[in-house]
Chain A
Amino acid sequence: MRRSVPMLLAALAVMMAGCEKKTQPASTETDTSKQAAQGQGGTAPATPPAGTPTGEADTILLGVATSLTGGQATFGVSTRNGIEMALKEANEAGGVKGKKVAMRVYDNQGKPEEAAQAVTRLITQDKVVMVLGDVASSNSLAMAEKAQAAGVPMITPSSTNPSVTEKGEYIFRICFIDPFQGYVMAKFAREHLKVSKVAVLQDNKSAYSIGLTDVFTRKFTEMGGRITSTESYSQGDTDYRAQLTAIKKSQPEAIYVPGYYSEVGVIARQARELGLKVPLLGGDGWDSEKLYELGGSAIQGSYFSNHYSPANPEERIQKFVADYKAAYGGVPDALAALAYDAARVAIEALKKAPDTSGKALRDAIAQTKDFPGIAGVITLDENRNAVKPAVVLEVGDGTTKYVTTVNP
């Protein structure tokens, strides 16, 4: 046994020596070596995906992976409904090149490993030509890794974290990103509400919330405002009085709460209870009918940034809202609208592309320009992100009021 220790040390020394030797001369070829490294583990994007030849079937299958169980299940359900509706409409209009478009949905339970498993199953077992999903950015990231490696295009309807589309050229997004949303609220607070002191209450369990907080804090300070205090909570909490009491002491003129509706409603109630009368500000995580139930009258008069307003009088939007209500009951939230848009972008790409190979579809999606989506006009930039305006909505009694649109 004693002999093995020096041997181990020697081996370690050799390895370390090797390491250092490599790094300097290899700096030019790191890119290729990295490429190869990834190819070793999964499949290199250059190799044609396994699921290409689906020509003989009379349906084209799209894959959907989203969270249908767990804390954010309502988001996943909206996403699925939106996609389902778009597919139904497309099929009623004659499908794509004479073929029907169908989807296969898997639940990722809100966990990245399940998302990765679901997307792998979609691509290799079900041989889908394209993947749609998810809402939560960490799940989309896991899916993006697999889709990129397999060379299957993926469109995320509503993941706002910038890093998702950075995974590679097969990953697209049709909504705006967190930095923009943070900027929108900062601008709105400064210019529209004309407040200069804002407190922040972030959800420490959610990357989305942390991301928005960071950008908002930066932008708001740049615009001459002041963040009076930053507090945090964890998803699933129900008592926020300690944080709110601390916030109250800092005497803000508004509170930025970039969390999810499930917590925001309760936060609003407790803020009012503690005598905090200032408006709350938030992001698209607020968008759910549940918000009115949970927040009651306390949440009224607060603002959040969103992808679209169901109150927008434009005809196609009203038609979408009416159709959705008829099919699923309830006003479609932004996630449903975005999912609907994503599916339509996907169908459009299927129509335009010469075949259903990953590369052809990828190129077709990348060319999306001035596409009239429900949630804004979609033009994809060189980073495969949509450049879109955001709307700011005011919460009313069981509904929202359109306030303003902020352009990028």
Chain B
Amino acid sequence: MAQLLQHLINGLAAGTIYALVALGYTMVYGVLKLINFAHGDVMMVGVYMGYATAFALGRQTQKTFLGVVLIFLVAMGGCALLGFLIERFAYRPLREKPRLTALITAIGISFALSYGFQLDIGFLPGAAPRAFPEIIQPTEWLVIGDRDVVVWNWQVMSLLIAVGLMVGLQWLVFKTRFGRAMRAVSYDHRVAALMGIPTDRVIAVTFMIGSGLAAGAGLLYAIKDTSVSPLMGLYVGLKAFVAAVIGGIGHVPGAVVGALLLGLVEEFVVGYAASTWRDAVAFGILILVLLVKPGGLFGRVAAEKV
């Protein structure tokens, strides 16, 4: 029983991080109908930014409240900028081209980032994983029995942050002027442009929000698993993408549900079945969901206009 509870907590903790990354995929897909393969790698860059900031702050300052806020701000801001640059120079010129072109570009950026960061030339960090500093002193938030079940402060914290961000995002999309513009662009960006909506700006801002979210998620991830490596983006990104597709890509609550589902399923497969089959299970679920419900659990397949 205690074990089950612990698995549940682990799974939720993993799921919330997937969810935050998945939200970025879903948002970008919503406005551009583009699978931003580079999303996970943007996240990785954000984590390295946070890592560098933490170092610059030094051992003492990085643990203060202000220090943590600063680390998050730098990483999220830096990533928003990176997202903006990628959108501006790599995706925008391709907006009217076939969708495949943008997809290939996204894959190219993903490669350039994840492998570029493995170089040890100049400021690039090199391939070896590094320990992420404990910017949040881990303390036990809840202990049941003789440490049978342990819940840590950062687990609660990341859950709260994740939920907060999701609610915020939902509010942004459905209750604000900007959200309305986003939805209009998502529906048909050409028509939206004709209606006087600044399409370029809406898409750019969406990208920036998505990238900033990714950086935040990445930092929570790094705090959780205490290490940073250039390939982390590929792994987490892929899983988050799977989660977004399972939930129905383009659908905000769907992404969250898909991510939590994936986190829990992975946890339980490892905990109770064969841990060696975990990655196969994730993709197996993906394929199954796509076959049964091609639009994902919540998404709808838009009938192609003929």
Contact = CB atoms under 8 A, between A and B. Distances in A.
Given A74-B128, A232-B275, A273-B138, A241 B10 contact: yes
Given A73-B128, A262-B129, A274-B150, A245 B271 contact: yes
B55 interface: no
A270 to B, nearest CB: 8
Interface stretch (B162-170, B180-188, B225-233): B225-233
Contact of B131 (A234, A237, A296): A296
Given A73-B127, A239-B14, A242-B275, A275 B227 contact: no
A243 interface: yes
B200 interface: no
Interface in B195-225: 221, 224-225
A331 to B, nearest CB: 16
A242 B271 contact: yes
Contacts of B226: 266, 269-270, 294, 296
B147 A266 contact: no
Interface in A258-278: 262, 265-266, 269-270, 273-275
B152 interface: yes
B225 A238 contact: yes
Interface residues of B, number: 38
A162 B7 CA distance: 38
Nearest to B234: A236
A246 interface: yes
Interface string B1-21: 001001100110110000000
A185 B271 CA distance: 26
B202 to A, nearest CB: 35
Contacts of A294: 129-131, 226-227
A84 interface: no
B3 A231 contact: no
Contacts of B130: 290, 293-294
Contact of A266 (B127, B148, B227, B235): B227
B227 A265 contact: yes
A73 B128 CA distance: 8
Interface of B is mostly: helix
A163 interface: no
B74 to A, nearest CB: 22
Contacts of A402: none
B54 to A, nearest CB: 14
Contacts of B235: 236-238
A204 B10 contact: no
A285 B161 CA distance: 37
A70 B138 contact: no
B6 A274 contact: yes
B231 A243 contact: no
Contact of B118 (A69, A234, A273, A275): A69
A249 interface: yes
Among B11, B118, B150, B278: residue with most chain A CB under 10 A:
B278
B7 A245 contact: yes
A242 B152 contact: no
Contacts of B11: 242
Contacts of A70: 127
Contacts of B129: 262, 266, 290, 294
Among B118, B131, B235: residue with most chain A CB under 10 A:
B131
A71 interface: yes
Contact of A245 (B6, B126, B128): B6
Contacts of A246: 3, 270-272, 275
A270 B223 CA distance: 12
A361 B232 CA distance: 45
Interface in A208-239: 231-234, 236-239
Contacts of B152: 273
Interface of B: 3, 6-7, 10-11, 13-14, 118, 126-131, 138, 147-148, 150, 152, 221, 224-227, 229, 231-232, 235, 266-268, 270-272, 275-276, 278-279
A-B pairs with lowest CB-CB distance, top 4: A275-B147, A242-B270, A238-B225, A241-B10
Given A236-B231, A236-B235, 6 more contacts: A69-B127, A242-B11, A245-B6, A245-B7, A246-B275, A273-B150
